[in-house]
Structure 1
Amino acid sequence: SAVCSVRLILAIYHIPILVNENDVLDFTQIIEGRFVYLSVAGGIQVPKVMGSHATTLAVNLGGFNGKRLKSGDVLNILDASQAFNYNTVKLLPKMPLNLISLIKTKKIRIVPGPEYDWFSEDEWQKLLNKPFHLGKHIDRMGYRIEGPMIIFKPENLLSEANMNGAIQISRDGQPIVLLADRATHGGYPVIAKVIISDLGTLAQWPQHKPIHFEKVSLNDAWLASAERAEVVQGIYKSKPWEILLHTRTMANKIKRFF
């Protein structure tokens, strides 16, 4: 629990920093997106459950006693000397902003879903040409999206496997985008699927920003996936977890005034 008010430093320099006991991290002003991800050197020290440190709130499993964090909770982390090689001191090279930002794009790319032919051309035009917005009910299971009513043919659908990123159309004509904690199967027709490389973008989509969908080919979807994988692999190969600054430049400048 050692962090300082470094939101500005992180946003500008994109470098790991050394934080001390009783420092405080302030993320009260998110400039872009919906969430902030904090990577702690050595990881947060919680027991592994089924090979993972993650939390599944729906069944109170894993993570920090299987529950949502609240004020006053204390998470154990490694001391810096345990997490880092102090002989390694170098600056993290600045990454191009287009690789850091997830929501510069204006459209979410999709491919046709298994029930694409349950929807007329007019309904497809609604999906592709009308703006949608995130609804009030959004979580890791899925994002409910509000917009024009999309109508499908009045038939019953047998339950089928749910895909990550599938866009189901519920009985009220509103889309639901299924995400990581989705149920294993469902019975709403799937008009389309968000391509893998855009799922992270949608997850970070601001509540106020309109969502526009764009249909692409399967080949374009695979190419986009390969490009994103190459970016992630490049970050991994740079081994940012081995990078550490012994001191904070701004802190040293402030000391000069005293």
Structure 2
Amino acid sequence: MARLTTIGETMVAAAVGVGPELEITKFVFANIPGLVHTAPEPANEPMPAPAHVVHQSAPTGQGIIDDNRVTYAKMLTTEIGNFSFNWIGLVYTHPVNGDQLVMFAYVPLTQKVKTAGASVGNVIVRNMVIEHLGIANGVPIVVSAESWMYDFSAEIAAISEELTELKERVTHKLVHNPNNYTAAGAAQRETIVFDQGQSKTVTLDAANLIAGDVIEVHKLAKAGRIDIVGTVNIVLPNGVSELNHWLPAGRSGVLIFECVAANQLRYAGGF
């Protein structure tokens, strides 16, 4: 259960009175070793040690529930991770004194993972409500909110679209002797096999591949030449980058490429 710190109580009381408005700067997530989440939460709770902070960022949204309650929410979306946390805090960053802990909560150890390749990360939403007589007049918030604070419809729709796209991808796709083939994220692993001896081209479309995608180009016949062309430069182990790789005439073999991040390709091995 979240509680105000002594500093937080002072700030809220001042904001409701004649002091400056209380503006929550950020949510802080920490993983504090040995913390028992069912232990009493003391009013003099300090900020966690920097080494224990695993994520911090501005609230996703904030709103007024009624005159005496305001609420803040944070959505940790699928691109955020990987870390675990057992402590959450609301922080006001003073221009001189730095971070001031206003409210905090002990929580069960929770894991946050991000999307990696075809493995979809999780989404976590956390809300914290500050309750104090007249608090709505002491914060720079002008929008109302239900008790859950924030409409995540747009974010959830985007995540649902991402999940749908990933579900449509197959784990392994095998293609034989295509003509001017483009590897563009249809599968986590695409194997393109040439065994008829013609000269062909394979394009690696970096803009549509996802981190973790692997493309294998096999040349089984010695005749013909297979060119592999990246839409962005392909990074080699020695640090050199180039657009083109090829399997030459007179030889057979395989070249392997990997999408390592958004719009980034890497040569992963081969003959």
Give yes or no for TM over 0.5.
Answer: no
Q: TM-score range by the shorter chain?
A: under 0.3
Larger radius of gyration: 2
Q: TM-score, normalised by structure 1?
A: 0.24
